[in-house]
């Protein structure tokens, strides 16, 4: 190939992407288009332990969600207690947990509407709670599996070592 033809050919090729550009290209950057939930409502049994906790005691999952969404400003125990009182006292605990679904949807720019959120919590609150907690796990907002940076064990000096 002559040098002019080769230069024309190289001009047509896209420039190789750097590692950073590849990562940015993979990320959805258009903030006007809402993202989808990472899992569906019917995937509530994909995490067996979460499914069992939420099925038998949804107030615990609501507490964990609230603590993650509000960055620890409200205690898991306080939220769980409020939800338990509302659920077992009035049957309206789903309204309280619905507020956290709306916060998650806004925080992570997820698709849906307040009506869909309301329907999900009214018809199947436990499935909605599992979906919300899985979404928070995906975004790294929960304590599970999170690395505790800066926390180190104090080294033990070998026996017989003196100053």
Q: Pick 3 or 122 by higher pLDDT.
A: 122
- Residue 9 domain-assigned (yes or no): no
Q: What is the pLDDT of residues 46-104, one digit of tens each?
A: 899 999 999 999 999 999 999 999 988 999 999 999 999 999 999 999 999 999 999 99
Task: Flag whether the pTM goes above 0.85.
Answer: no
Range of the domain at 100: 38-138
- Residue 145 domain-assigned (yes or no): no
The span from the CA of 46 to the CA of 40, in Å, is: 10
- Residue 149 domain-assigned (yes or no): no
Q: How would residue 1 be classed by pLDDT, with cut points 50, 70 and 90? A: low
Count of structural domains, the chain: 1
- Residue 23 domain-assigned (yes or no): no
- Residue 45 domain-assigned (yes or no): yes
């Amino acid at each position: 190939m002559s040098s002019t033809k080769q230069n024309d050919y190289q001009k047509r090729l896209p420039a190789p992407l750097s590692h950073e550009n590849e990562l940015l290209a993979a990320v959805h950057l258009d903030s006007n288009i809402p993202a989808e939930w990472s899992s569906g409502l019917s995937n509530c049994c994909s995490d067996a332990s979460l499914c069992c906790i939420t099925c038998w005691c949804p107030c615990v999952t609501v507490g964990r969600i609230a603590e993650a969404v509000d960055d620890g400003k409200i205690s898991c125990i306080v939220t769980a207690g409020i939800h338990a009182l509302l659920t077992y006292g009035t049957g309206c605990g789903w309204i309280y947990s619905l507020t956290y679904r709306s916060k998650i949807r806004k925080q992570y720019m997820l698709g849906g509407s307040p009506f869909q959120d309301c329907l999900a919590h009214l018809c199947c609150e436990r499935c909605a709670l599992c979906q919300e907690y899985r979404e928070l796990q995906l975004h790294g907002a929960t304590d599970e599996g999170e690395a505790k940076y800066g926390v180190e064990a104090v080294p033990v000096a070998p026996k017989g070592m003196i100053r």
